[in-house]
Amino acid sequence: MNKTELINAVAEKTAMSKKDCETILNSALDAITEALVENEEIRLVGFGTFEVKKRAARTGLNPKTKEKISIAATKVPSFKPGKALKDAVAVKE
């Protein structure tokens, strides 16, 4: 599902216009991004947690030259699904 399909699905479920749903989705994504930039954690109970994790500096290997290169430390966004989301996605056999 891409962003347009998500907007359409929300519009159908809420009976709101696609334009309003797009505005709400964009605003939510902007708020999540801004919080992560500020190193804040976003916890959506039952859905999951967005957070920023630190990735340590490490030594890598250039695949073409096989030369060792140093990879700088960085921060990366991370998502950890909540129990309700895991349970909803899990395949019951």
Q: Can you list the residues of the chain whose pLDDT is less than 50?
A: none
- Hey, what CATH topology would domain 41-93 get? HU Protein; Chain A (4.10.520)
pLDDT at 92: 66
Distances from the Cα of 45 to the Cαs of 70, 80, 82, 83, in angstroms? 38, 11, 7, 9
pTM over 0.95: no
CB atoms within 10 A of CB 24: 14
Map out the domains of the chain as residue ranges. 1-39, 41-93
Q: Which residues pair with 58 in a beta bridge?
A: 71
Q: Give the pLDDT score at 39.
A: 95
| pLDDT computed for residue 93 by the predictor | 61
For residues 70 and 57, the answer to whether their CB atoms sit within 8 Å is yes
Give me the long-range contacts of 11-16 (CB less than 8 A, separation at least 24).
none
